[in-house]
Each structure stands twice: as C-alpha cells, then as structure tokens.
Amino acid sequence: MIKHKRALCGALTLAVAVGVVGGIQPGSVFAATAAKSTPAQSTNSADEARLREILHRLTTVDGGPGALVEVRNQHGRTALTSGVADVNSQTPVRGDSRFRIGSMTKPFVATVVLQLVGEHRVALDAPVERYLPGVVRGNDNDGREITVRQLLQHTSGLPDYLDHLNPQDVLKDPLAHHDTRDLVNIALTQPRTFKPGYGWSYSNTNYLLAGMLIEQVTGHPYGEEIRRRIIQQLGLHETSVPGDDTAIPGPHPRGYVRPGEDAPLMDLTAINPSIAGASGDMISSTGDLNQFLDALLRGRLLHPAQLKAMMKTQPTGDPDGRAYGLGLESRTLPCGGLYWGHGGDIFGYETVGGATIDGRQATVMVNLDPGGTDAQADDMEAAVQTALCAGRPAHSQ
C-alpha cells in the first residue's frame, strides 16, 4: 500500500542482464485466463464482475503476467485468478499459490515486537540503544534518541538502506547473502531524514533493526519467533520465513521484473531474500494473509493495549489520507469506514492486503514487480477496496 516508497523496486529501473525471459516483451502474452472461484461464494455476481474486470486490467493494460485475489467475509471465501504463472509454459495462476510478500512482512515483525511489549520485555518508548547498544551510531543517527515505537511507525528519521544500494551489485548476484548489520550500516552512513519524532518517512532500515531487536531480546532469530508466535499459532501452513533459502516452497508463479519500459521481462523467482530481511523476506499465500489480518484485528495475537497502540496512526502526508500505525496502515473505504493492512513488493512480486474490523478481508498478488510505476499498484488497491466493499453501497457506514 505504500506506493511512494516501494521496497526493492527502485533498483530495477536499470536493465541488468539477469534471467531475461527470451524475447518476451511486457504485455505481449498476457491475455487473461478465466477467473476461478471456490465453491463458497463470498461475492455476488456484480461484485465478482468488477473484480474480474480489475484482474483483467492487471494482466493486460498494466502488463502483469498473472494476478490472484482472495476475498473472505462472513459468507465464505472466493479466489479469482487471471493470466499466467509462467510466461513460457503459459501455466495459469493457481488459487493456492505462494509468493514473496515483501513489506507485508512488517505487520508480522511489528506483532512480535508488540507481543514482547505485552510481556514487559520491551518498552515502546524506550530508546533503541537499550536493546541494541552501539548499533545505531553514525553521522547524526543516534539510537539514544530513537525509540522502539518510532522504528515501527517510520518516525525515526533513519534513512532507507535501499536508497543507497548499488542496483547492479544486487542484480548481478541475486543469490548472494546480505548481512543485516551491513545493510543497516549502509543507511547509517547517511544523514538522518529528520529529527526522530518530527516527521514520517517509510524506511526499511527501521524493520531490519526491529528484527535485530527481537533476536537480542529473545535470543532467537526473528523468523523463529514469527514461526512460533504467529505461523504455528494460527496454522498458517503456506507461510514461511525463508532466511537464505532462495526457493519458494509449494505451488507458486514465476516472479518477474520489468527493467525498462520496452525491455524483456526478467525472471527473478530465485533470490536470496536476506537482501530484505525483517523488512520484507517472507513467503505466504492470499489465504494465509487474510487469515493473519483477521486474527490480528480480532485481537487473537495482541492484548487490547498493544493492538490499540498498533492502530494509533501517524499521517503519511498522502493526499488520500492514508495513515500508518505500528506496522499497519489504515485507509478510507469508498463504502465508508476504514480498512487496515499493508502492501509489499520484492523482486518478482507485488502484494496488497487489507481487512476491516467487522471481518472482511482481501489480498491481491501480481507476479510482477513493476519497478516503481503506479498503474499496477493503483489497480491492486482498487481490487482490495472493491472486494472489501462487496455488497455495500458507496458511502454506507
């Protein structure tokens, strides 16, 4: 959902010869396939027609190879697909696909930190220095001035390490391991964006540090804590924290990037997700993400005080009024009220998910990282909003 600061896509504006799909131009093979629904219908025919239209646009006008959306509400669940999972074999997208979720990892990380707050092992307004002594030092960045809350809410003023990576270094060896401390240090060589607490700016560095904080407090890697506290607790069998594993387990679409407007697509399905770490390395499915968001908003993962803190938002400055809490974003629905969720993109994939407090969820995936263009992101958010407003007139409360 954060389209003005998209994880891991800015580097893809350079045409680097890695995994180019031979001779296939973006948009040349992307006729939408028939959408598929689960037996339990959660959308009526008009709502489903609108969703099909958006999915068709994602896989034709926007140039995505394939798209998938799953909708859940009190009536059941529906999965719709369009396009292809593999541009060479023309295999259709499966409704149970797994994929890299990029920055949708952040709500998982924030949830674990807030659980530690509820256990009185972390204080939200304590300085980062208390938990990571000596780590945040450099230029005018200082962990004694930055709080845990400011990390989770992107109000720390820390620069984003992704803005200072050499894209050719990343793409020429996508399977290389990247040490989290080294990535953090890239950011710390830069001046802070603003004084901590006096602005808002999306920075993936914040969540690398949050992952380090989890490990320091618990003695376990953040991925192990996510597995124990969330994945196993909710039975999210299609969700994983891969570490250095470059493969996606289970059925999944190939992941593509667009290195230039007229360049052939690049297949970057296999990458070492340590380049994203706790800011965006996880793998999941639309079904698991919907289940996670529902459990989170219903209070199954956090005590009321910590959930309230998570949902206390800071304006992001976007004209649409979106606001950011602690790893969770809010936005107004066209049918009234708010929905809560996050978005994420990483090499090969873009994901947007949202949920309402009354039990509606929707998550959409496209197997293309569009490299900073807005059309795909706009249509993905339109799909989530259309799904969440299914059966409701505009501006109803």
Looking at the annotation, which residues are catalytic? 103
Residue 281 near residue 101, CB atoms below 8 Å: no
| Secondary structure of the chain in HEC code, one letter for each residue | CCCCCCCCCHHHHCCCCCCECCCCCCCCCCCCCCCCCCCCCCCCHHHHHHHHHHHHHHCCCCCCCEEEEEEEECCEEEEEEEEECCCCCCCECCCCCEEECHHHHHHHHHHHHHHHHHCCCCCCCCEHHHCCCCCCEECCEECCCCEHHHHHHCCCCCCCHHHHCCHHHHHCCCCCCCCHHHHHHHHHCCCCCCCCCCCCCCCCHHHHHHHHHHHHHHCCCHHHHHHHHHHHHHCCCCCECCCCCCCCCCCCCCCEECCCCCCCCEECCCCCHHHCHHHCCCEEEHHHHHHHHHHHHCCCCCCHHHHHHHCCCEECCCCCCCEECCCCEEEECCCCCEEEEEEEEECCEEEEEEECCCCCEEEEEECEECCCCCHHHHHHHHHHHHHHCCCCCCCCC
313: CB partners within 8 A, 6+ apart? 323, 324, 325, 329, 330
Number of Cβ atoms within 10 Å of the Cβ of 178: 18
Q: Left, alpha or beta for 338 (phi > 0: left; psi -120 to 50: alpha)? A: beta
Phi and psi dihedrals of 279, rounded to 5?
Answer: -85, -10
Query: What is the Cα 218 distance to its own chain's centre?
Result: 24
